[in-house]
């Protein structure tokens, strides 16, 4: 059955991506033209081929914004934009924000599948996935183009609470691997520990080996970007339920100090950063993929660091700093967020002249 799925996928790829006519596809696959037509119909039914009708002017508008982002941020290799809603700027408009997040997740899911299954990929992918609701939403929307039995998936950091927590990176790594009939490996250790505990855990082979793979072998990273504070629908401003806060190793007062006094404006999987780089949290160590290594991966043209973030004006400064620090090379966001990112860049450029 897997072989049949492969030939259906190959027929669709040759016809829709390579531009071959059905007769030409038939010659390549050594089947009849009616068989190719049947394969293409199956490809649509199986979700291998998706047809979207876009209003030409709107599509060109998004494309221009995507190009503008890539030109403005040197480390950004690709920007993928979705539509947005002006009401999403209002924290009380929960449904509007959810709709934007859903579009981002759908767009990112298609991108991830392409990155993993592209015939142009050199070697088998090793994927690192972050924790969080957005990453869970992306994975739930992935419709695999074909099985990838040699795929390896790792969490970006150890576990919080337990592996049953729905947005835990270990659990999400397992879920992504199962979608593609691939392989996964947990980091069987807490995400947030003391320096002494980290030294002991890194000396244990069960922990050291997945950490080594994460550092050395990762070819695709799937993450989101958060920020310290959020505004509730009723207007209250409070600390987000971040990785460090959920670990119960760092309290709200310390995280507030990081944001208000140390310049922390963004977070990726527990690692905080400001406009000038990483912001260290005293007394704790995270077991996973640090920002220094994330930046190195993003600078490598053969690897993809995909950040999915948008639909929330409070995250714009965090996304901007992450772009300027080179913590990603692919961004999936909405067009209102893209506008704001470009506006910040223009203001900074004008101020420096």
Structure-model confidence comparison of residues 188 and 160, the more confident one: 188
pLDDT in tens, 92-101: 777 778 888 9
- 53 burial via Cβ count (<10 Å: 0-12, 13-18, 19+): exposed
Q: How confident is the model at residue 55 (pLDDT cuts 50, 70, 90)?
A: very low
> Any idea what DSSP says for residue 13?
I
Q: Are 115 and 220 in contact (CB under 8 A)?
A: yes
**Same domain, yes or no: 103 and 19:** no
Q: How confident is the model at residue 161 (pLDDT cuts 50, 70, 90)?
A: low
Residues 292-312, mean pLDDT to the nearest whole number? 95
- 220 burial via Cβ count (<10 Å: 0-12, 13-18, 19+): buried
Q: Pick from 301, 346, 337: which is nearest to 318 by CA?
A: 337
Q: Could you give the angle at which helices 133-141 and 169-179 cross, rounded to 10 degrees?
A: 10
141 within some domain: yes
**Same domain, yes or no: 282 and 219:** yes
Q: Which of 48-62, 82-96, 334-348 is predicted least confidently?
A: 48-62
Which residues make beta-bridge pairs with 229? 239
3-state secondary structure at position 227: coil
**Same domain, yes or no: 17 and 66:** no
316-333 burial by CB neighbour count: b if 16+ within 10 A, else e? bbbbbbbbbbbbbbbbbb
51 within some domain: no
pLDDT given at position 327: 97
Q: Which of 91-95, 242-246, 262-266 is predicted least confidently?
A: 91-95
**Same domain, yes or no: 39 and 99:** no
236 within some domain: yes
Residues 136-160, mean pLDDT to the nearest whole number? 94
Residues 335-353, mean pLDDT to the nearest whole number? 87
Q: Residue by residue, what is the 3-state secondary structure of 21-50?
A: CHHHHHHHHCCCHHHHHHHHHHHHHCCCCC
**Same domain, yes or no: 201 and 233:** yes
**Same domain, yes or no: 61 and 39:** no
**Same domain, yes or no: 243 and 338:** yes
**Same domain, yes or no: 39 and 143:** no
**Same domain, yes or no: 155 and 114:** yes
3-state secondary structure at position 333: strand
**Domain containing residue 31:** 2-45
**Same domain, yes or no: 200 and 277:** yes
Q: Position of tokens 């809603």?
A: 85
Distant-in-sequence, close-in-space partners of 243: CB < 8 Å, separation ≥ 6: 131, 157, 160, 191, 192, 267, 269, 270, 286
Indicate which CATH number applies to the domain containing 33. Answer: 1.10.10
50 within some domain: no
- 77 burial via Cβ count (<10 Å: 0-12, 13-18, 19+): middle
**Same domain, yes or no: 267 and 238:** yes
pLDDT given at position 344: 93
Q: Which of 50-59, 194-203, 240-249 is predicted least confidently?
A: 50-59
Q: Could you give the angle at which helices 133-141 and 94-117 cross, rounded to 10 degrees?
A: 60
The angle formed by the CA atoms of residues 147, 116 and 144, to the nearest 5 degrees, is 40
Return the percentage of the chain with pLDDT > 90, whole number. 55
Our measurement of the distance from residue 60's CA atom to the centroid of its chain's CA atoms, rounded to an integer in Å, reads: 24
> Strand 192-193 vs strand 220-224: parallel, antiparallel, or unpaired?
unpaired
102 within some domain: yes
Q: Which of 49-63, 134-148, 307-321 is predicted least confidently?
A: 49-63
The overall longest dimension of the chain from CA atoms, in Å, is 69
**Same domain, yes or no: 109 and 240:** yes
pLDDT given at position 119: 67
Indicate which CATH number applies to the domain containing 205. Answer: 3.40.50.1360
pLDDT given at position 341: 95
């Amino acid at each position: 059955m897997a072989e049949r799925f492969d030939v259906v996928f190959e027929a669709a790829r040759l016809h829709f991506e390579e531009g071959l006519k059905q007769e030409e596809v038939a010659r390549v696959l050594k089947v009849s033209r009616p068989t190719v037509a049947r394969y293409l119909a199956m490809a649509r039914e199986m979700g291998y081929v998706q047809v979207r009708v876009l209003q030409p002017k709107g599509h060109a508008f998004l494309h221009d914004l995507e190009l503008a982002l890539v030109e403005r941020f040197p480390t950004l290799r690709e920007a993928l934009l979705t539509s947005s809603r002006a009401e999403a700027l209002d924290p009380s408009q929960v449904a509007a924000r959810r709709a934007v997040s859903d579009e981002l997740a759908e767009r990112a899911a298609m991108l991830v599948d392409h990155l993993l299954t592209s015939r142009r990929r050199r070697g088998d992918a090793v994927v690192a996935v972050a924790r969080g609701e957005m990453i869970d939403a992306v994975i739930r929307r992935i419709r695999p183009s074909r099985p990838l039995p040699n795929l390896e998936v790792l969490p970006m950091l150890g576990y919080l609470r337990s592996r049953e927590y729905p947005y835990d990176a270990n659990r999400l790594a397992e879920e992504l691997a199962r979608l593609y009939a691939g392989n996964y490996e947990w980091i069987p250790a807490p995400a947030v520990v003391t320096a002494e505990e980290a030294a002991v855990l890194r000396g244990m082979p069960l922990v050291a080996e997945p950490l080594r793979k994460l550092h050395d072998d990762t070819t695709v990273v799937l993450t989101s970007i958060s920020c310290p504070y959020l505004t509730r629908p009723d207007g209250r401003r409070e600390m987000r339920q971040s990785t460090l806060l959920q670990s119960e190793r760092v309290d709200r007062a310390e995280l507030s100090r990081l944001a208000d006094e140390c310049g922390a404006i963004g977070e990726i999987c527990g690692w905080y950063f400001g406009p000038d780089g990483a912001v260290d949290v005293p007394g704790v160590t995270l077991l996973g993929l640090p920002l220094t290594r994330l930046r190195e991966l993003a600078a490598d043209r053969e690897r993809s660091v995909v950040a999915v973030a948008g639909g929330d004006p409070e995250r714009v400064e965090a996304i901007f700093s992450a772009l300027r620090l080179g913590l990603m090379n692919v961004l999936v966001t909405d067009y209102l967020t893209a506008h704001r990112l470009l506006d910040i860049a223009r203001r900074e450029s004008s101020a420096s002249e």
